[in-house]
């Protein structure tokens, strides 16, 4: 499987990228960076740091430094830290340099190099993918499969617009363009993320092994773990939105339940801008464009974590 990963490398993005790098059937052809959790200028070195862990020779293309129309607001240092990787003091600076080609142009070039072969995984706002679609209208048809982490399937978001999830809310126009242009999309929503936490007992076991990779994951996740485990709203486990999207991309057999519907994005609502709108009742007459993944085999996800941490 030839993969291209578009990311706003934050903590869960880093784990998703590690999962792909460790998978025996995946070849990561490129990583494209986008402003989201943190600014692009921080996303690029964060991606390079992850690649250093695997000594992986993979090009990194810097992309959009801000959303298409919306003003940019970071996810918040309380989640991903100021630097996007939990402000972990143990991280080593990377000597890697990104490519000079802009991400959108690189996406178009990669799709032309591997027509019909690329699986594109979007882990952040879809600004780069929207721009690629505007550079080359045939770009979507050349992509074998697009998986994105984002959206809400029951209006339970995680932003100030309560029905909007961060990746979509950060750049609603980009998400609208991408959902309108692609027809072979898989979606892992915020509600699906909440329904599939990495239980604390499993998380602790996974990170008990002292490898560079487990030390890295434990280090970058420490602040977020404290927030999720002991914060005002306590969760049954570590939330892993991007790793879930990556897991079902790497191994679609882990999808236990899904439904295919027409999905678009609200751009104007004062309370609902950035909400993914799902046509459950086929009222729009539009053809379904998204396979909404709602249940995932977590034993398989744990195995992917074990693979990436050893």
Measured from the CB atom, is 39 or 109 closer to Ca ion?
39
Angstrom distance (rounded) from CA 12 to CA 3: 18
* Site stretch for Ca ion (CB under 5 A), options 51-59, 157-165, 236-244, 290-298: 236-244
Smallest gap from residue 145 Cβ to Ca ion (A): 19
Measured from the CB atom, is 98 or 150 closer to Ca ion?
150
Q: Tell me: does residue 83 bind ligand RIB (CB under 6 A).
A: no
Q: Tell me: does residue 13 bind Ca ion (CB under 5 A).
A: yes
Q: Tell me: does residue 124 bind Ca ion (CB under 5 A).
A: yes
The closest alpha carbon to 308, from 91, 18, 25, belongs to: 18
Q: How far is CA 11 from CA 43, 152, 182, 195, in A?
A: 11, 20, 27, 19
Which of ligand RIB, Ca ion, none does residue 148 bind (CB under 5 to 8 Å by kind)? none
Angstrom distance (rounded) from CA 252 to CA 249: 6
Residue nearest to ligand RIB (CB): 166
The dihedrals phi and psi of 131, each to the nearest 5 degrees, come to -65, -40
Q: Tell me: does residue 251 bind ligand RIB (CB under 6 A).
A: no
Indicate which single residue of 15, 119, 158, 192 sits in contact with ligand RIB (rule: CB under 6 A). 158
Measured from the CB atom, is 67 or 241 closer to ligand RIB?
241
Measured from the CB atom, is 15 or 289 closer to ligand RIB?
15
Indicate which single residue of 3, 4, 6, 12 sits in contact with ligand RIB (rule: CB under 6 A). 12
DSSP category for residue 253? G
DSSP per-residue letters across 93-112: PP-----SS-HHHHHHHHHH
For residue 15, give every residue at least 6 positions away whose Cβ sits within 8 Å of its Cβ, in sequence order, or none: 217, 240, 242, 243, 305, 308
Angstrom distance (rounded) from CA 310 to CA 307: 6
Q: Tell me: does residue 15 bind ligand RIB (CB under 6 A).
A: no
Residues 37-66 that bind ligand RIB (CB under 6 A): 37
Angstrom distance (rounded) from CA 96 to CA 300: 32
Q: Tell me: does residue 171 bind Ca ion (CB under 5 A).
A: no
Give contact residues for ligand RIB (rule: CB under 6 A): 8, 10, 12-13, 36-37, 75, 123-124, 149, 158, 165-167, 190, 241-242
């Amino acid at each position: 499987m030839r993969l291209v990963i578009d990311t706003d490398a934050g903590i869960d993005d880093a784990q998703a990228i590690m999962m792909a790098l460790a998978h025996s059937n995946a070849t990561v052809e490129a990583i494209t960076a986008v402003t989201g959790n943190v600014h692009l200028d921080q996303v690029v070195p964060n991606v390079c740091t992850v690649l250093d862990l695997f000594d992986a020779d993979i090009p990194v293309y810097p992309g959009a430094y801000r959303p298409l129309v919306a003003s940019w607001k970071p996810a918040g240092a309380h989640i991903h830290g100021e630097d996007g990787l939990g402000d972990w003091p143990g991280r080593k600076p990377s000597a890697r340099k990104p490519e000079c080609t802009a991400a959108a142009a690189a996406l178009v070039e990669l799709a032309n190099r591997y027509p019909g072969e690329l699986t594109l995984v979007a882990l952040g706002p879809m600004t780069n993918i929207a721009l690629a679609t505007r550079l080359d209208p045939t770009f979507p048809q050349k992509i074998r499969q697009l998986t994105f982490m984002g959206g809400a399937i029951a209006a339970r978001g995680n932003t100030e617009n309560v029905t909007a999830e961060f990746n979509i809310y950060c750049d609603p126009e980009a998400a609208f363009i991408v959902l309108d242009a692609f027809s072979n999309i898989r979606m892992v929503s915020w509600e699906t993320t909440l329904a599939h936490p990495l239980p604390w007992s499993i998380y602790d076991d996974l990170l008990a092994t002292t490898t560079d990779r487990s030390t890295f994951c434990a280090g970058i996740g420490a602040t977020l773990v404290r927030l999720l485990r002991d914060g005002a709203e306590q969760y049954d486990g570590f939330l892993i939105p991007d790793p879930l999207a990556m897991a079902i991309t790497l191994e679609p057999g882990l999808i236990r339940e899904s439904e295919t519907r027409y999905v678009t994005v609200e751009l104007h609502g004062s309370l609902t801008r950035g909400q993914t709108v799902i046509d459950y009742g086929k009222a729009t007459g539009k053809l379904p464009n998204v396979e909404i993944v709602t249940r995932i085999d977590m034993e398989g996800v744990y195995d992917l974590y074990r693979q990436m941490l050893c």
